[in-house]
Chain A
Amino acid sequence: MNLGVAKRSSRSEGRLLSWLLLPVALIALGPVVRLLLEGVGFGNGLTGDYLADVMSRDSTRKALTHSLVTAAGGTLLSVLIGGAFAFLVALTNVRARGALVFCLMVPMMIPPQITALAWMQVTGPSSVLLKMVGLAPPLGSPQPLHSPGGIILLLGIQHASIVFLTLRAGLRQIPADLVEAARMSGARGLRVWAQIVMPLTLPALGAGAAMAFVTALGNFGIPAMLGIPARYSTLPTLIYQRLVGFGPSALPEVAVLALLIGLVAIAGVLLARWLLARRSHGLVGLSGQPLSISLGRARLPVEIALWSFIAAILVLPMMALLFTSLIPAYGVPLTWANMTFDAWTEALLRQPMTRRAYVNSLGLALGAAAILMAVCLPLAWLMARRPSRATRAIDALVDLPYALPGVVLSIACILAFLDLPFTDLTLYGTIWIILLAYLARFLVVMLRPVQASVGQLDPAMEEAASAAGARLGRRLRTIVLPLAAPAAAAGAILVFLTAVNELTVSALLWSSGTETLGVVIFNLEDSGETIMASAVAMSIVLLIVCLMTGVQLMARRLPKGVVPWQS
């Protein structure tokens, strides 16, 4: 028998396609590997002394403490908000759940620097909103959000949806008969919740908290907007300040810092995975109606409370942002008479920097979405139909660039692309390094929906085409692509959404001429152009809500799990 020969002749097309794994692995995982090598002293990087030097520095320890404090505080707040919402929305009979969930998800999709900007327009002495109701603190009093407390508050709100989504998924796995059995035993109301539901959902809650913690740890936008003015640095902002201050010469030092956050983040991700794996263990095989507890007469008050909360975390800051973008000069209260769109026209039509940023961000987001769509379809097909050790490895590791904090990936990308191997070229300072970083970071955002969709395809669909004489390329184009197109489109919109308002990666990778929208908002606010920053921010929020609504409308026709805020 000569199986080897038989395999080679028959699966040559599949073989050809497997070469796709190489660039995917290089771009998605190469930078991370490069960063790890830096940590163990590869190249002209560091030695043990240097590591010890950076670690023993006062600023490092301070930033690490700040990072841990704000991330922990924010996580606590996220657990409170997300947990309350999850229990009420998933377990009880409140109405309009879809709308509630959608509104809770908007803060997650709005980039953190815009969240911070918007909240700063709610509080502080120059708040248009407070001025209109006459509650503004006197001029010269400090902005209350420029503090650890402010960072914690906004991190908590921003990441509440992460806890919410994990916990809701966990709650849906609890069969109703467990609660019914508790009721038959005489337990009621809160007792059922505390003794049956809570213990069963603790792992999910823990996993959600771990993920919120990792995300909060990597958050750059909020501590940058709120912490830098207050001279309160976290690890991501410390890296940013070092790199902006000293350029690539600070690379060895910031690489250590990046590795430090990376390690803490990976520990958090592993903890979350472990908790989730434990959860599914005990409840496997049980099925039944999902829980639905009647709130009785408390329903209306609960609904009012939930919607008031949504108003406080979403409507209030967005209104403040909108009002600020409409005033003629900072510090002036908004009236019907002085309302003006000057900042909007200035920002969107006249300023070359903002226009360039729009072109850059839209181009990068479109480019990343298009390239990832072209790559993920064959990739998902390979993973589903020709599984091998290589595809399984990529499947497991592809989460890494997305799970790692953005600053870590940025540093990794700078290290990897500063000197292109075998050439004199550098990508540092060009727009291509941002594109490559986006491709690495958002690969998984695109891959998972397409994977879900391809996984649901009946293999007979392709076999029928194969028997009809269609070769692999044609089958992918005429059968797999059209059938996976809705999921691919949703994935592309998600990539676009995430990429268009991305700040963390581009803040470290941009240079003059390659600004992105996130960078421009940050820079405008930094240089005191708050009104114009608000106008740009508001225009992005509108774009995001439109895109999210588009995905929402498509949701019915998509496989389960494609739309992150639905399950």
Chain B
Amino acid sequence: MAELIYSGLTKQFDGSAQPALDGIDARIESGEFVALLGPSGCGKTTLLRLTAGFEEPTGGEIRMGDTQVAGPGCFVPPEDRGVGIVFQSYALWPHMTVAGNVSYPLEVRGLARAERARRVEEALSLTGLTEFAHRAPAQLSGGQRQRVALARCLVAEPRAVLLDEPLANLDLALRASMQENFTAFHRRTGATMLYVTHDQGEALALATRVAVMERGRIRQFAAPEVLYSEPADCFVAGFVGDGAVVSASAAGPLGRNGLEVETMGLRVAARSNEALPTHLCIRPEDVSLTDEGGLRARVRGCTYQGGRFRVVLDTGGEDLVAFSRLRLEVGAQVGLRIDRPWAFREPGLSALPARATAHV
């Protein structure tokens, strides 16, 4: 197992105006389970394919541990990188049995027959496929094929395991159980794993750290709980988790617990590490429905989510999201209070000084 280090990694495909990857700098530690999360076209799959060696970068470099695998004047082809990959389509070879698929990487490495059989047996039992060893991939269900792909990838003891939306073709129930499989597998092997997905639930549930990508850049690379409670910019705040992003300005000095901000004509104590924030990320948990908060809002919508209602509130200009134990009538007026939301500064936006906004 080895860490993956990207520096200044850029990929420009022929004939497209925008680079698919635009200066990626990141470090994935050995044994980490990292998810690449983002909308389609954000470059996450390109990053995975560059890591595997299926594409060559236009600029920048990739290192695996001590060795540079891609960079100026250097390119290690995929077959020499020692990474395993699980494709969205699984890419099982239809002309080989399950055991044949799994033992292929070992045959390529020229392992002795007995050693091969032992390791195939081991990989199959690890993925619970022992009884299917002599079936053709076509005779397996989606979940079983997924596990064959995983076993084939593991058997060679790769330096890193790359997964390209591996659950996208499975139904919901199967997804949940496969997610548990992945976590258990990661715990057991300690492999460095890079997991591409557009499903934030999957990313937050599985990964130790998540890289949120948009338009070829990593917007934030942090633990799931940090992404949720302390998003770095408007895109991450809006893409990950529920809630609202509203504009705000500093109304006090930055202290150890954050600062006072002014938003929606109100002064609110916010968590922050930014002296001049521009926005607030207000999660539903930050909003309580009470008449003592000093903010009035009209109910715009109310949907039941099992155990609670999700309420969309119109505060006169900005929409907030809150949870409620009781059903609220659309159009009703409610009072609300905002508790310590996260204040951040959108990169590229200059914040107005606190005093200037106070008069607005």
Contacts and interface: CB of A to CB of B under 8 A. Distances in A.
A456 to B, nearest CB: 12
B52 A463 contact: yes
Interface stretch (B85-93, B197-205, B325-333): B85-93
Contacts of B79: 466-471
B341 interface: no
A336 B54 CA distance: 72
Given A2-B72, A2-B73, A7-B56, A465 B95 contact: no
B104 interface: yes
Given A464-B152, A474-B108, A1 B85 contact: no
Interface string B143-161: 0000001001100100000
Contacts of A6: 56, 70, 72-75
A469 B109 contact: yes
A463 B78 contact: yes
Interface string A1-15: 111011101100000
Contact of A10 (B77, B84, B105, B152): B77
Interface stretch (A97-105, A306-314, A477-485): A477-485
Contacts of A463: 52, 54, 78, 85, 87, 91
Contacts of A337: none
Nearest to A6: B75
Contacts of B58: 1, 3
A474 B94 CA distance: 17
Contact of A461 (B54, B81, B93): B93
A518 to B, nearest CB: 38
A471 B80 CA distance: 9
Contacts of A2: 72-73
A103 B87 CA distance: 45
A467 B153 CA distance: 9
A2 B57 CA distance: 11
A424 interface: no
A49 interface: no
Contacts of A58: none
B158 to A, nearest CB: 8
Nearest to A482: B95
B31 interface: no
Contacts of A465: 93, 104, 108
Contacts of A483: 93-95
Contacts of A471: 79
Contacts of A479: 93
A471 B58 CA distance: 23
A478 B101 CA distance: 11
A425 interface: no
Contacts of A10: 56, 75-77
A481 B78 CA distance: 20
Contact of A468 (B74, B88, B156): B156
A524 B250 CA distance: 104
A467 B73 contact: no
B83 interface: yes
A479 B101 CA distance: 11
B89 A467 contact: no
B211 to A, nearest CB: 21
Nearest to A9: B75
A479 B82 CA distance: 19
Nearest to B81: A467
B241 interface: no
A298 B323 CA distance: 72
B91 A460 contact: yes
Contact of B104 (A1, A9, A478): A478
A14 B301 CA distance: 60
A310 B53 CA distance: 58
B59 interface: yes
Contacts of A466: 53-54, 77-79
Interface string A435-472: 00000000000000000000000101101111111110
A1 B79 CA distance: 24
A3 B71 CA distance: 9
Nearest to B82: A469
B261 to A, nearest CB: 45
Contacts of A7: 56, 75
B9 to A, nearest CB: 12
A34 B345 CA distance: 72
A2 B153 CA distance: 32
Nearest to B10: A1
Contacts of A5: 72-73
Nearest to B85: A467
Contacts of B84: 467-468
Contacts of B85: 463-464, 467
B59 A460 contact: no
B87 A464 contact: yes
A458 B89 CA distance: 9
A471 B79 CA distance: 6
Nearest to A475: B79
Nearest to B105: A468
Contact of A458 (B72, B91, B95, B153): B91
Nearest to B110: A469
B75 A468 contact: no
Interface string B269-310: 000000000000000000000000000000000000000000
A466 B82 CA distance: 10
A457 to B, nearest CB: 10
Nearest to B162: A467
A16 to B, nearest CB: 13
Given A1-B72, A7-B56, A483-B95, A470 B87 contact: no
B108 A468 contact: yes
B78 A467 contact: yes
Interface in A478-506: 478-479, 482-483
A241 B91 CA distance: 58
B8 to A, nearest CB: 11
Contacts of B105: 468-470
Interface in B51-67: 52-54, 56, 58-59
A3 B91 CA distance: 30
B77 A470 contact: no
A470 B79 CA distance: 6
A470 B104 contact: yes
Interface in B97-112: 104-105, 108-109
A468 B91 contact: no
Contact of B152 (A3, A468, A478, A482): A468
Task: Tell me which of A458, A466, A470, A474 has the highest count of chain B C-beta atoms within 10 A of its own C-beta.
Answer: A466
B87 A460 contact: yes
Given A2-B72, A474-B108, A478-B104, A464 B95 contact: no
Given A463-B85, A464-B152, A470 B108 contact: yes
Contacts of B52: 463, 467
Nearest to B87: A460
A211 B50 CA distance: 47
A169 to B, nearest CB: 29
A212 B153 CA distance: 53
20 contacts: A2-B73, A5-B73, A6-B56, A6-B75, A9-B73, A458-B91, A461-B91, A463-B78, A466-B53, A466-B77, A467-B83, A467-B84, A468-B79, A468-B108, A468-B156, A469-B80, A470-B108, A471-B79, A478-B104, A483-B93
Given A3-B56, A5-B73, A469-B156, 10 more contacts: A6-B73, A6-B74, A7-B75, A463-B87, A463-B91, A464-B91, A465-B108, A468-B108, A470-B105, A483-B93
Interface of A: 1-3, 5-7, 9-10, 458, 460-461, 463-471, 474, 478-479, 482-483
Sorted nearest first, the 4 A-B pairs with minimum C-beta distance are: A468-B105, A460-B91, A10-B75, A464-B91
